[in-house]
Structure 1
């Protein structure tokens, strides 16, 4: 018996619900389930394990190496890239440009250079080639500022002496490796790369001054933006996301790391948004980005971790966090103890916190090892060991830092304040 008499073929296809994005949607559903479960489990554990670490763990569990419930196809990869952009935009937004001109910033830069050079020389004797030594040096000396920012917020460390110091070391440990990676590991000549970076800076400056220039030349545009800022039009947030999209697109076209564009977008916003609006805007950005894009990035990053690699090479994987602690965290800690860095940090406990936070790295490790694998500089298995070890630093070092500093649970009044601000949106 036939029930489709008289129905056009396209109607039958529509009724069947066929879509080429089915796998992406199923993966996305599992990813968001992991994203929701992580903070609930973190709360259940008394915040002893940060939700970011749980996002990575749950990502590995639902990923191809364990349960194989979700996969990173083109659609999910795009969401991950947007999550990276959102994460580093917020990190850049937290950076005060004035702090990067201080003695502490100069000390942080010199500390990173010394660490990177020492690691590079040591790695050269192991891998016996310059590109491989550069990859190892950059992977071992980066700091995951974007990854640390939500943890510092959760622990209420931002704005303290420790938080300010971590932000400075994080900014140096994020931007310096990206720049070095572009200059030393790119397929172009160093001079060409420097010219491209100069063009990027020019475009970023143009993007920064464009909104004010347009508002000055066409006054009604400013009025329209203000009028639509709090409505369903959300003009201010759309402008921010446009700035992020432009700078990420520019870095992609120039074959630079998109983290550079996202970080620049955050710094630009910090400069062009009046100080009195920072807190309210930051909260709105948190609502937009932390609800989906940023947790997607962490879960998908966890999905790329191979459980088989960890099981077959446990000591190598565990050795990576130890190496990073020695090559990145220890020098920062020692520099704070033996020299006046300008951080005004007085206690050993606080200096140890800064060292542990500074040794937390993942995004740059992923970026530099991916580039190394694509360039045949590093074997995929070794890259997976580095990424797995980097994920362990995210799970372990901030947790240890919170124990050293005496981690506090979020206060009830803070939760009520956050709920009230959310309602105001």
Structure 2
């Protein structure tokens, strides 16, 4: 009885969801679009359930995978409970922009100028060329060049934003493996974004370069304006600091303004919005004092991962064509293997045969780096959307690429964790720091705290009750000030008494 009831129940549920998602018409003939709110309800529900289920699996299955799977479930290709119509696409674009703003903010550009950074850049170029060549050979050169460029970008990307929480939970953050993943991940996100904007443009290559350079000039000007304002407008820095921890939230509003400005510029230049979002993250990092980077990252994650970024992944899952994935299981397997061969293997070979200055000494460490670097999803979603909108890829092929990217995010970090647990981290046991080293570290931390207000975006630490009760040096009595005559005399008297 239950076996008969269940399909009927799902059919009725899908029909009800489709009716609600289509909206209703009032008696006076006006349209009340309830479908968007129904879609938002289902999207926020699965966004809430995904991290809970990820935690129940011990974080072995990432939150992103659950978001895509639930999006596939509630989307029009299965239960049809939610649709991506009305204002949902705009929210999805904002979620994509927020995702790459955070990714750009995480990148330390100075690390890309090192020998390890140059090696990562050369390795990515080889991965990109290998992906293009592989796609061309498999399809017998039956498609145009831009199609192979899109596939090459998809097969050579790295999901840095998705990998960061995994590295922390796996205990790899701060290790040579984790640091190498950050470098390859930065290159695996930055260069594909430039490739999308430059190579997948409808313009000629020369005009595309001119437009890209013009956008870079605008981005530099956008970065210089806040620096100049903070330096020359009296009191602006103090106002930003005073409102940073209030309902004004000036720092986060500045971040959103940068995001909106550069996305607008990409729209005016007819470039992909991902480029503007990434540039906004890079600019925001230059405006943030080094000691405040961690706190700023946490704030951006709160803004992004609360609603907009989960919505982006859920709506992306809603667009996956289930029939195409089910009809071609070997095609899905080919995508996963292709990503591993085009991205993971070149990284492994580069670490094995060349001195990349990564600090990786064992084969296990190099294998972990290769697996982490081959996990790619956000760039795959972005490039497939651009390619399908330009008729470079069919919907079925794009669905296979996105589903394959989701599998790489699920499988490759798990395999890397298994290698780490089987062979160890390969790191020497760190000795406990000496007393002098501890005092120097404490002194450096205090100096960093005092320099927070000297940056372009000052950060104010809220005073606790104990801080309020403790008088500052300026409020202390004159005879208690350091260096005063009375204090010096008291110190001498105490010294004599001690002798």
TM-score category by the smaller chain? Answer: 0.7 to 0.9
Q: Is the 8 A contact 1:55 1:302 kept in 2?
A: yes
2:100 corresponds to which of 71, 88, 99: 88
**Secondary structure, counterpart of 2:177 in structure 1:** helix
Q: Is the 8 A contact 2:198 2:212 kept in 1?
A: no
Q: Are the structure 2 counterparts of residues 133 and 199 from structure 1 closer, same or farther at C-alpha, using a change threshold of 3 Å?
A: same
Give the Cα separation in 2 of the matches to 1:290 and 1:246.
21
Deviation string, structure 1 residues 35-59 (Cα, Å, up to 9, x no partner): 1111111222222212222111112
Deviation string, structure 1 residues 277-318 (Cα, Å, up to 9, x no partner): 112222222222211112112222222222222211111112
Residue 14 of structure 1: CA displacement? 11
Determine the structure 2 residue equivalent to 1:224. 239
Residue 273 of structure 1: CA displacement? 0.7
Question: Could you tell me the TM-score, scaled by structure 2's length?
Answer: 0.75
Residue 33 of structure 1: CA displacement? 0.8
Q: Is the 8 A contact 1:87 1:147 kept in 2?
A: no
**Secondary structure, counterpart of 2:270 in structure 1:** coil
Report the count of equivalent residues.
398
Determine the structure 1 residue equivalent to 2:56. 44
Residue 246 of structure 1: CA displacement? 0.9
Q: Is the 8 A contact 1:140 1:324 kept in 2?
A: yes
Higher alpha-carbon deviation: 23-32 or 379-388: 379-388
Task: Check if 1:334 corresponds to 2:333.
Answer: no
Higher alpha-carbon deviation: 380-389 or 315-324: 380-389
Residue 368 of structure 1: CA displacement? 2.7
Higher alpha-carbon deviation: 153-162 or 204-213: 153-162
1:71 corresponds to which of 72, 79, 83: 83
Give the Cα separation in 2 of the matches to 1:158 and 1:248.
31
Determine the structure 2 residue equivalent to 1:199. 214
Give the Cα separation in 2 of the matches to 1:202 and 1:399.
42
User: How do 1:51-62 and structure 2 match up within 5 A?
Assistant: 51-62=63-74
Determine the structure 2 residue equivalent to 1:169. 184
Give the Cα separation in 2 of the matches to 1:248 and 1:157.
34
Q: Is the 8 A contact 1:361 1:393 kept in 2?
A: yes
Q: Which has the higher contact order (CA 8 A, sep 6+)?
A: 1
Q: Is the 8 A contact 2:71 2:315 kept in 1?
A: yes
Task: Check if 1:107 corresponds to 2:116.
Answer: no
Deviation string, structure 1 residues 111-140 (Cα, Å, up to 9, x no partner): 111222233233323331423322222221
Gaps of 5+ in 1: 1-12, 409-420
Q: Are the structure 2 counterparts of residues 75 and 405 from structure 1 closer, same or farther at C-alpha, using a change threshold of 3 Å?
A: farther
Q: Is the 8 A contact 1:248 1:258 kept in 2?
A: yes
Give the Cα separation in 1 of the matches to 2:334 and 2:35.
36
1:355 corresponds to which of 351, 357, 370: 370
User: How do 1:23-34 and structure 2 match up within 5 A?
Assistant: 23-34=35-46
Task: Check if 1:246 corresponds to 2:261.
Answer: yes
Q: Are the structure 2 counterparts of residues 377 and 39 from structure 1 closer, same or farther at C-alpha, using a change threshold of 3 Å?
A: closer
Residue 214 of structure 1: CA displacement? 1.3
Determine the structure 1 residue equivalent to 2:201. 186
User: How do 1:128-147 and structure 2 match up within 5 A?
Assistant: 128=141, 129-147=144-162
Determine the structure 2 residue equivalent to 1:122. 134
Deviation string, structure 1 residues 176-208 (Cα, Å, up to 9, x no partner): 222223322211111111111111111111121
Give the Cα separation in 2 of the matches to 1:206 and 1:394.
37
Give the Cα separation in 2 of the matches to 1:208 and 1:216.
13
Residue 153 of structure 1: CA displacement? 4.3
CA radius of gyration, larger in: 2
Question: Could you tell me the TM-score, scaled by structure 1's length?
Answer: 0.87
Q: Are the structure 2 counterparts of residues 158 and 86 from structure 1 closer, same or farther at C-alpha, using a change threshold of 3 Å?
A: farther
CA RMSD of superposed structures (Å): 2.5
Give the Cα separation in 1 of the matches to 2:133 and 2:59.
40
Q: Are the structure 2 counterparts of residues 38 and 351 from structure 1 closer, same or farther at C-alpha, using a change threshold of 3 Å?
A: same
Determine the structure 1 residue equivalent to 2:8. none
Residue 27 of structure 1: CA displacement? 0.8
